[in-house]
Amino acid sequence: KAGRVDNMQAIFDEGHADVNAEEKIMNDNGGEDSRTALAYACELGRNDAVTFLLSRDNIQVDFKCGKDGESALMYAIENGHVEVVRMLLDHGGVDINLVDKIGVSALMYASEKGLAEVVRMLLDHGGVDINLVDKRSGISALMYASEKGHAEVVRMLLDHGGVDINLVDKRSGVSALMYASVYGHAEVVRMLLDHGGVDINTGSSERSVCVNFDGTVGECVDQYFSGLSALMYASNYGHAGVVRMLLDHGGVDINVVDKSDKKSALMYASNYGRAEVVRMLLDHGGVDINVVDKSGLSALMYASNYGRAGVVRMLLDHGGVDINVVDKKGMTALSYSIKEDHLETVRLLSERNDIIIDKDVEYSIHQKNFAALATILESKVTYRSTNDDGKPLVECCAEYLKHESAMNMLGVDFPVEVQDGNLVQRQDYLYSWASFMDVTIPVDVNVRLGCLESILKDNKFASCSQELLRELAFGKDKHGREVIQITDASSRKYLNDQLFYCGRYEIFDGPPVHVSNTAVVVMAYDHGICTQLFQQNQSGHGSLDVNGFINCNKVLGRVVMKSGTKKDKKLESDMWQSEFHLWDKDLDGSLSEDEFLRYCAQYCGKKLKVAMKFMKNGDEYQREIYNREGLDDSFVLSLLPSVDLPAFQANLKTLKIHGGYPMTEYPHVMVMPAADRSFEDIYLKERPGENERRILLQHVAEGLQHLHKNKLVHGDVKKLNVIRVENRLKLIDLDAATAFGDCVGAKFSSGSLPPELFYKLASAEEIDLHYKHWANIESTNQELWQKVKPKGNFVVKSFQHEKDELPYALVKAHPSMDVWAFGALMYQIYSGEELVSTDINQDVLEKEIEEAATWTQENVVKRIRSKIISNAQVCDLLEKLLVVNPKNRPSMAAVLDHAYFKVNASRITEKVQEAIDKVVEVNTNVQQVSEKVARVDRKLDNLSKEHLKQLAIAKQDIMRGVFEATEVVIPTSFVILSLDFTKSLPENVQEKFDCLFKFMCTKTIDFGKSVAKAMKSDSAIISTGDPMFLYLVDEVEGTPVIPSTSDISVYPIRIDTQTPQFLAVAAPYLQAGLHLLKGIKTATTLAKRIGIPNPTKSVIDKAIKVLEATKAESSVVDFNIVHSAVQAGSESPRLVQRIRGAALRELERFFNDKDPNKTYAGLQRTYTVDGHALWTSRENAEKINKDKSHPETLMTHGQSNKIVLFYKKLLLVEQEKKCEGNAPNMMQKKEDIEEDHEERDSESRKVIILSPKKGTQKVCTCELM
C-alpha cells in the first residue's frame, strides 16, 4: 500500500512471505472484501511496488480477488493508472480478455472510463476480444463508450476492425447508436453513422428498456421503453443535434413506430414538449402528423395532454393536422387539455375554425372544469347556458371569465332580444345576466363593466338603447331582486350614470310639472339619498346610532310628529327605538351601512321621490338657499341633501327634458321633497269643503307667520307657491322672499300685489326713464319684459339694480304685503274667482291693472260682499285683510286669532258629555258582570299558572288541544337553516355556527313581520334571498331533526323561492317551532353537526342569547295583525276550523310534494291525554303511549266547542283585568255566553263586547290560527 519496496524486500528475505496472499478488509459499504499485494499496488498506483512484485517468480498476475473478482489489470484501469497498465501488459502472461464476476473485461473498463491511451494499449497488445459482452446486460466495449460519449475511444474501437457496430445488448436490444442517441452524444452518433453499415431504423427489443434519468441503463427506476429506434430515443429526450444527424444521414424512417405502443418519433417529441425536435421532424418532410398509437392518440393529443403549448402551436400551424381525431376512449386533443386543465392549449385548440367543440363543452361541464370552459368560450359560442344542475354557466365560470367568454355566454341567454326593431323579453331566459351582474358572483369588475358597456353600444340595440338600459338595470334575478341592487358598486355607478341625471336622479318621463320664465320643475326619484343620509349622519365609527337613524328618517319623511303631548312624544320615541333595534341584526347598538340600506330597501326601495327645480338666475337661487336657513320645515319646504352644484352643472349638457328645454340655461338646481299637490290643484280638483278650506288656509297663515317671525316677507303668495307634503301645506318659492326693510319687487307676480306696489308713469320723462332702466331686458328677455313693461302707463315698482334712477320710489318689505296677498288668495278660495284677473303667469291683465293699482276701501268691501254672502266670518276676515292702507292691515298673528279660525266646540262638548253619561251607565253593568266573572276566575285558579301563561301567549297550543288530534296529520313545528348538514361541512366552522344561529332566528322573525306587514297594509308579500333548508323539530326533545350523512332522506327540504302562499301559512309555524327549541340542546346539536365536537361554554351561551332574544321579539302582536286582516276580509268571521284547516291543507300540499313517502325525518305522531298532537321520535312516542291511557275515541266536535268557549272566557277575563278601569271594554254577561254559545259557535265563533256608542257592538273574534 505504501510502496515501501525496502520493507517488502526485507519481508521476502525472511523467507516466509506469500506474494499472492489476500488480506481480508471491510469495504465502504460495510461488506467483506479482499486484496493481494499486487492488487493494492495496482489500485493505488505504486509503480515501484508493482515492479518489485512482478519480479517475483511465483506472482499470479491474473489473480482475481475481492468480492467482484477483479484482476490487478482491472484495478489499475479502474483507477486510471496508465503506467501500471503498461507494466502489467509488458510483464507477459496477462489474460487481456479476463472478466470479472459480471463479465466485464479490461477493455470494457477502459472504454467506460474513457481511457483512450489504455484502450490503445489493449488493442495494440493483441488478442483482445473487441465484441466481448458482459454477463449481466450483454453490453460491449463499444456500447460502454457510446453510452458515456467517449468519442476518441469509439473512434479507436471502430478503427480497430472487426467491431460489430449493430451488436445489441442481450437485455434490451439496444445498440451503440441507440445508447449514443439516448444520451445525446452527437459526435459519437456521427462516428457511428460515418462508419458505415449501421442499422439506423432498428428498434430495441420488445422487452422493456429502462433508461434512468441519472444516465444509467439498468434496473427500471424512471422510464420504460420498448422497441424504440435511435431517432425515437433522441426525439424523446430532445437531443436536437442527434436528431438532425439522424435525419440528415439518409435512409431514416421518420414514421417508424415502436413495437409496443406504436408511437412515432413525433409522438415522443410532442409528449415531452421537445419543440425544437418537433420543428425538425415537421420540416424534414414526409412526417405523418396524424398517425395514432395503439390507444388512438396522435402527436397533437400527446402535446395537449401534457400542456405543451409551443408544440401544439407548431402542430396546428403545420398543414393537414386533424384537430378532431378521437381516440379509443372518445377523447380529443381538446378533451385532454380540458382534463389536465392546460388553459393555454385549450385556448390554442379552441381558436381553430375547424374544431368541433360540442362534445368537449359537455365534457368540461361534466368534469366541472369551468376554467377550461371559459377559455373555450373566449373564441366559440355554445348552445348551453346552464350546467347539469341548471345553474347558469356564467355563474359557474365567473372567476375565469374574460370579456370575450362572458359576451359569448351572455349572448346565449340574454334577457331580451330585438324583433322588428322592438325590444322583447325572451321566454327561455335562465338568469345568466342577473347572475353575471351579482356582486356575490366572483366576476372581475373590469370584465363586468366592459361587457356592460359593449352591450349598450351594440348596434343591434341602437333602435331601443334606452329600453335596453332599463331592462339591464331593473331586470330581476331568480329571487326577484333588481340587477342594479345586487351588482357591485362600480357597475351600479355606471348604470346610475347612464340611467339617471348625475348618477342618481331618475327624472320622470313626460313634461315638467311646472315651467316659468325663470325655472323648470321636474319630478324624479333620488337613488342616492339613502347612502348620502347615512354618510351625513353616521357616527365616528362608520355606523348609525339611534339618533342618526331618526334624523335619516326625518329626511325620508317617515318621522312626521312635530308637536304633541309628552306622552305622544314618548310613544313616538319608543316606536323608533323599537324600529332601530329591529334592524340592528347583529345587536351591537348601531346600524351598519348595509343594514341601513336594507332598511331603506324595505320602506322606500332605496329611493325617494323628489322635486328638482332648475333655475336660470343665480341671485334667485342664492335667495332660495339663504332664505331657508333657520326656517322650520313644518311651514316651509326644506331642501334635501344632494350632489354639489358643480356636479349638477357638469351634467346639464346631456340632460334631456320633455319639451326640449335648453337645460344649460338653467344651471342652478335645488332638490326638495316631492309634494302630492299644489294648493292650486287641491282647489281645482279636490273641491275642499268648508272645514277643509279653513284648515288649508290656516296652514298658509301659519307659514306666513313663521316667515314674519324670522323677519322675512314671502313676496309672492299664491296657490302655486303653496304645496301639500305629508298632509300639510307648506310654502315654496322663496326666491322672491325679502328681509324686512329691504326693497321688494325684483321678482313678483302682480296678481297678488297690494295697491302700493303699482305706479302710474305721469310724464314722458318718467316713461323714458322706465324704458331706459329695462332697455337690456326688452331685447334679451321677452317674458320678463311682458311683466315690467307699462300697461296703460301703469307699472309695478320693480327694479334690476336698486341704485339705478327710477321714476318711482321703491317699496320696503313689510309683512302687510303678504297679508294682502293672503287676502287675495282667500278671496279666490271662497268666491271662485280672482280678485283681479291675471294671465297664465298670475300677472294682472292690461285691462285690469288700473283697478289693481287704484283700489279704494269702499270698492274692496263692495266686491267682497257681492261675492261672499253666506259666511259672515269670512267676509269679516277678508275686509280686515284686503285693506288699501298697508298700515291698517293686521299681523298674521292677529289673523290666526280671528274668529274664523276659532271653531266653536260647544256642540262637540255636548256630544262628549252624552258619551260620558252613557259610559257611566255602562259602568253600573260592568260591576254586575264583574261579580259573575269573579266566579269564573275562582274556577280558573285551579289551573297552574304556567298553563295559564301558555294559553295566553301561544294561541297555537290551544289549537292543538282543539283540532290537532283530529286534523293534524303532518308535522307543524319546523325551523329554517342556511346550511344542509347532509353535505360537506364549511371550513370556518365557528364563524358558520354563529351565522347559522342568526339566520335561523332572524329569518323566522323576518317572515313573520313580512306576513304581518303585508296583511296590515293590504300589500303583497315579498320574500327573496338565497336557498334555505327546512328541518322538522322534535317537539319533545326541542331540537331540529338532522338526518345523518349516510341516510337517504328528503330532509332537510331545500326551499329556493318562498311563495306568498307558503310564507303566509308557514310563518306562524316557524315562530312556533322556534319557541319549542331548547337553547342548550339545540346549540349543542348544531355545533356538533357543523364540526365543533366539544363546543365551549362561551359558544353555547352566545347561541342561547341569540335564540332567547329572538323568542322575546316573536310576539303574538304580529299574529293578531294577521288575525285582524283575515277578519276584515269577510263580512262574517270565519270558523276557526276553516282557517286552521286551510292552513293545514296548504302545509299538507307542501309536504306531499316534498315528502311523498311521508317519512317526516323519522318522527311519529302521538298525542297527550288532553288531545294535543305531538311529533317526536319512535322511542319517545312509545314511552309516551306507555305512560298514558289511550282514549277510545278522538276529540269530538262538542268537546272542541267547549274548549273554544272556555278559551274565550279566559281571554275575556284576562282582558278585563288588564283594562285598568277602561269601561268601554266590557264583556257580555256570562249567562248570555253560556246560553248562546252553541248558536254562536255554529255561526261565527265570536264574543260580543259592549261599546259605549248606543246601538253598536264591537266584535272581538278569537281566531286561534
pLDDT above 70 for 1214? no
Is residue 415 domain-shared with residue 454, that is, in the same domain?
Answer: yes
Query: For residues 623 and 48, what is the distance between their CA atoms, to the nearest angstrom?
Result: 123
Closest alpha carbon to 694 in 895, 863, 869: 895
- Read off the pLDDT of residues 52-78 as tens digits, 9 standing for 90 and up: 888 888 888 989 998 889 999 999 999
Instruction: Check residue 1009 and give its pLDDT.
Output: 59
pTM value is 0.57
> For residue 596, what is its C-alpha cell?
341601513
Is residue 1127 domain-shared with residue 1181, that is, in the same domain?
Answer: no
The top-scoring range by mean pLDDT among 423-437, 863-877, 1084-1098 is 423-437
- Position 834 in a domain: yes
Closest alpha carbon to 258 in 274, 277, 271, 248: 271
In this predicted structure, which of 140-154, 422-436, 971-985 has the lowest mean pLDDT?
971-985
Instruction: Check residue 891 and give its pLDDT.
Output: 96
Instruction: Check residue 1066 and give its pLDDT.
Output: 64
pLDDT above 90 for 910? no
In this predicted structure, which of 588-592, 853-857, 890-894, 1112-1116 has the lowest mean pLDDT?
1112-1116
Name the burial class of residue 685, with classes exposed (0-12), middle (13-18) and buried (19+) by CB atoms within 10 angstroms of its CB: exposed
Closest alpha carbon to 745 in 704, 799, 708: 799
Write phi, then psi, for 123 (nearest 5 degrees). Answer: -65, -40
- Rounded to an integer, the average pLDDT of 737-762 is 94
> For residue 560, what is its C-alpha cell?
312626521
Is residue 459 domain-shared with residue 527, that is, in the same domain?
Answer: no
- Rounded to an integer, the average pLDDT of 576-592 is 87
Is residue 595 domain-shared with residue 620, that is, in the same domain?
Answer: yes
Instruction: Check residue 341 and give its pLDDT.
Output: 94
**What is the pLDDT confidence band of residue 436, given thresholds at 50, 70 and 90?**
very high
DSSP 305: H
Is residue 1136 domain-shared with residue 1176, that is, in the same domain?
Answer: no
Query: For residues 106 and 760, what is the distance between their CA atoms, to the nearest angstrom?
Result: 141
- Position 1153 in a domain: yes
**What is the pLDDT confidence band of residue 334, given thresholds at 50, 70 and 90?**
very high
Is residue 1144 domain-shared with residue 1225, that is, in the same domain?
Answer: no
Domain boundary, last residue among 871, 901, 931: 901
- Position 134 in a domain: no
In this predicted structure, which of 247-251, 253-257, 471-475 has the lowest mean pLDDT?
247-251
State the chain's mean pLDDT as an integer.
81
Domains contained in the chain, number: 8
Instruction: Check residue 568 and give its pLDDT.
Output: 75
State the residue for C-alpha cell 278660495.
Answer: 829
Is residue 172 domain-shared with residue 247, that is, in the same domain?
Answer: yes
Closest alpha carbon to 409 in 362, 374, 371: 374
Is residue 418 domain-shared with residue 528, that is, in the same domain?
Answer: no
Long-range interactions of 1190-1197: CB distance < 8 A, separation 24+: 1194/965, 1194/966, 1195/962, 1195/965, 1195/966, 1195/1171
Instruction: Check residue 965 and give its pLDDT.
Output: 43
Q: Quote the distance between the C-alpha of residue 228 and its chain's center.
A: 57
Domain boundary, last residue among 95, 119, 134: 95
Is residue 544 domain-shared with residue 445, that is, in the same domain?
Answer: no
- Position 728 in a domain: no
pLDDT above 70 for 707? yes
What is the residue type of 1042? Answer: I
What is the residue type of 1229? Answer: K
- Position 340 in a domain: no
Cα–Cα distance list, 862 to 249, 821, 845, 852 (Å): 131, 18, 21, 15
Is residue 814 domain-shared with residue 796, that is, in the same domain?
Answer: yes
> What does the chain come to in residues?
1265
- Position 714 in a domain: no
What residue numbers bound the domain in which 1213 lies?
A: 1198-1265
Is residue 601 domain-shared with residue 668, that is, in the same domain?
Answer: yes
Contact 668, 645 (CB under 8 A): yes
Instruction: Check residue 1049 and give its pLDDT.
Output: 82
Q: Quote the distance between the C-alpha of residue 1164 and its chain's center.
A: 40
pLDDT above 70 for 885? yes
Query: For residues 1141 and 1131, what is the distance between their CA atoms, to the nearest angstrom?
Result: 20
In this predicted structure, which of 611-620, 860-869, 931-940, 1061-1070 has the lowest mean pLDDT?
931-940
- Read off the pLDDT of residues 1150-1192 as tens digits, 9 standing for 90 and up: 788 888 888 888 888 887 655 667 788 888 888 877 765 444 3
Is residue 1121 domain-shared with residue 1184, that is, in the same domain?
Answer: no
Instruction: Check residue 906 and give its pLDDT.
Output: 53
Query: For residues 166 and 1126, what is the distance between their CA atoms, to the nearest angstrom?
Result: 102
Query: For residues 768 and 778, what is the distance between their CA atoms, to the nearest angstrom?
Result: 13
- Position 784 in a domain: yes
State percent of the chain over pLDDT 70: 75
Higher pLDDT pick, 1221 / 1103? 1103
Instruction: Check residue 1018 and give its pLDDT.
Output: 46
The top-scoring range by mean pLDDT among 194-203, 425-434, 774-783, 1027-1036 is 425-434
- Which spans in 1114-1261 are helix H? 1116-1128, 1136-1154, 1178-1187, 1197-1218, 1230-1243
- Position 891 in a domain: yes
pLDDT above 90 for 844? yes
Instruction: Check residue 1133 and give its pLDDT.
Output: 37
Higher pLDDT pick, 835 / 196? 835
Alpha-carbon dihedral sign for residues 57, 61, 62, 64:
positive
**Looking at the DSSP assignment, which residues form a beta bridge with residue 1039?**
1034
Contact 590, 607 (CB under 8 A): no
DSSP 961: I
Write phi, then psi, for 321 (nearest 5 degrees). Answer: -70, 135
How many CB atoms neighbour CB 262 within 10 A?
Answer: 15
Higher pLDDT pick, 1181 / 87? 87
Higher pLDDT pick, 217 / 86? 86
pLDDT above 90 for 263? yes
In this predicted structure, which of 343-347, 387-391, 787-791, 1207-1211 has the lowest mean pLDDT?
1207-1211
Contact 640, 670 (CB under 8 A): no
pLDDT above 70 for 982? yes
Domain boundary, last residue among 95, 115, 137: 95
In this predicted structure, which of 106-110, 475-479, 616-620, 1153-1157 has the lowest mean pLDDT?
1153-1157
**What is the pLDDT confidence band of residue 196, given thresholds at 50, 70 and 90?**
confident
- Read off the pLDDT of residues 999-1049 as tens digits, 9 standing for 90 and up: 666 655 565 556 555 545 544 444 445 677 888 888 777 788 888 766 678
What CATH number should be reported for the domain holding residue 40?
A: 1.25.40.20
Query: For residues 56 and 17, what is the distance between their CA atoms, to the nearest angstrom?
Result: 11
